[in-house]
Amino acid sequence: MKIFKPSYEFEHFTDVSLQFLKDNNVHAIFSDLDSTLAAHDQLGDDQFTRWHERLEANQIKLIVVSNNSQGRVDRFTKPYNIPGYGRCNKPAPSKIRSIMKEIGVKETDSIFLGDQLFTDVLCGKLLKMKTVLVKPLGIEHEPWTVRWKRGLEASIKKMW
């Protein structure tokens, strides 16, 4: 089940540090939203605000790519002026591939950040990016469909 194995596993998005990004020559982060940058339906907190400021100050682009609605994505991204795309249909790579073209970034300069193996990690791999898996935020707020997938993810991880 190596297809689902991320390049890196971290606790939290703030572990994606400037040093890590520099070492990996990353100029763009394609990130999932729900349970990755904020709990379901939540907005960015102080930690997110500070992390985003550091990225901006270092010319690292953050692009939110979610399977949730555009409305949800906009509520999160607009206060920060972050490009955000809803209904990305992850793990299918086609919509994100066209976003990459539009923004003008290459997979070799990018990483994919997310909390789910079947959507985020797989999508990043299909896009030939390095992938970073983080522990889900606010797991108690997740819909049952997501919780069900967590069980499957745990079985796959046992096979690594």
Q: Which of 55, 64, 65, 115 binds Mg ion (CB under 5 A)?
A: 115
Nearest-approach distance from CB 88 to Mg ion, in angstroms: 11
| Residue 104 half-sphere exposure toward CB, CA atoms < 13 A | 0
Chain positions 14 to 43 lying near Mg ion, rule: CB under 5 A, are: 32, 34-36
Nearest to Mg ion of 52, 90 (CB atom): 90
Nearest to Mg ion of 18, 139 (CB atom): 139
If binding is defined by CB under 5 A, does position 142 make contact with Mg ion? no
Q: Which stretch binds Mg ion (CB under 5 A): 22-30, 77-85, 96-104, 109-117?
A: 109-117
Nearest to Mg ion of 35, 110 (CB atom): 35
DSSP, collapsed to helix, strand or coil, labels residue 140 as helix
Q: What share of the chain is helix, strand, coil (3-state, %, to 5)?
A: 50, 15, 35
Which residue, among 35, 97, 91, 92, has the nearest Cα to 63 in the 3D structure?
97
Distance CA 112, CA 158 (A): 22
Contacts with Mg ion by CB under 5 A lie at 32, 34-36, 115
